[in-house]
A = this chain, B = another copy of it.
Amino acid sequence: MRSEGRTAPTIQNVAAAAGVSIASVSRVLNGLTTNEDTIRRVREAVAEVGYVTNAAAKSLKTRQTGQIAFAMENIGNAAYLAMVRAIQPVLRAAGYRLLLHSTNADVDDEIEVLRSLGQRYVDGLVLCPLRVTDRHAEELRRAQVPVVVIGQLPDDVPADNVRADSRTGAGLAVRHLVGTGRRRIALVDGPLDTVPGRARYRGYVDGLRACGLDLDDRLVEFTDFEVAGGAAAMGRVLQRADVDAVFAANDLMALGAMQAVRTVGREIPGDVAVVGMDDTDLAETAWPPLTSVSLGSHERGRLAADLLLQRLADGSRPFVRTTVPPRLQVRASSSEGART
């Protein structure tokens, strides 16, 4: 803006107004030892000309931006929201500003972010990829700032890594449902070619097997991790099979599944029990409140932020891999007597 004319005041203008050198202005601005009088004059000059530091120039020199980015695939997924809530205060306390970027599950965009955002717009990056391609690995290797990946990462990629164990988590869900008397348990999963989609499918199969149940393909649907997709997928399952429970691979799809169950006039949890995953805010506010497998989103976010700060402080520390265990949060959507 500032249509034509009126260019931004620089440190030169401040120096001129204060009658000191630009070096002195810089020192005052950065809180280095200076004469009281100089400090006062510089401060006045800053206010007078309306000076504000040029971030590009500063970071070109200092190689720091004071910013960290968190890139996720879909900002509408409350699981990421929990991470943001955990990451932000940690980074903020350390003096960093958190910038968010939603890639809309676009791999190219994710790579773009790795390349260019990690290229001096920010001091570090927390990345939540849905799948890790060779290009991800390549960019990760040549990234110029520390990157912490929340998700599965190949062993040879030089980055700190925080993992969930959604396979075990999916197993927990199935066992819980079987344990409360359900036998025909549907699965509404995300795409099989994403890391979480695949892991949850496996966990579902593990769970059935552990309970002595057979896998029935007609009870399984893959869709896109969204509410509408979950509703459509569950609708298809209900049309072709008799079910008494559904495990949805995230809370969004679980909400969709609940809609689908109601659409065919069946009750939750009386006729069909529903279990989601991620244990987001949505689970608590759903009606009936949704049983959900917590994958420790908040905890993973906090860990990621801690790891990033540590690496920012010491770039030579060995790379860390941590896994946060899942935990089942039982609510009314899966307990027989819970209807009010």
Binding site for B on A (CB under 8 A): 1-4, 8, 50, 52-57, 59-60, 65, 67, 69, 75-76, 78, 81, 84-85, 88, 97-102, 104, 112-113, 115-117, 119-121, 142-147, 158-159, 227, 255-256, 258-259, 262, 265, 281-282, 284-288, 311, 315-316, 340
Complex contacts, A117 vs chain B, CB 8 Å: 97
**A1 B146 Cβ-Cβ under 8 A:** yes
**B316 A3 Cβ-Cβ under 8 A:** yes
Tell me, rounded to whole Å, the shortest Cβ–Cβ distance linking A196 to chain B: 21
5 contacts between A and B (CB under 8 A): A1-B159, A3-B315, A53-B119, A54-B120, A55-B120
The residue on B at minimum CB distance from A284 is B227
A101 with B102, Cβ < 8 A, contacts A76-B81, A116-B55 known: no
Q: Closest 9 A-B residue pairs measured CB to CB? A: A100-B100, A287-B287, A3-B315, A1-B146, A3-B316, A56-B60, A56-B59, A55-B120, A255-B285
Tell me, rounded to whole Å, the shortest Cβ–Cβ distance linking A216 to chain B: 28
Complex contacts, A113 vs chain B, CB 8 Å: 97
Not counting A1-B159, A76-B78, A227-B284, a sample of 20 additional A-B residue pairs whose C-beta atoms are within 8 angstroms of each other reads A1-B145, A1-B147, A1-B158, A1-B311, A1-B315, A2-B315, A3-B315, A3-B316, A55-B120, A55-B121, A56-B57, A75-B75, A98-B102, A99-B101, A100-B101, A255-B285, A256-B285, A262-B287, A265-B340, A286-B286
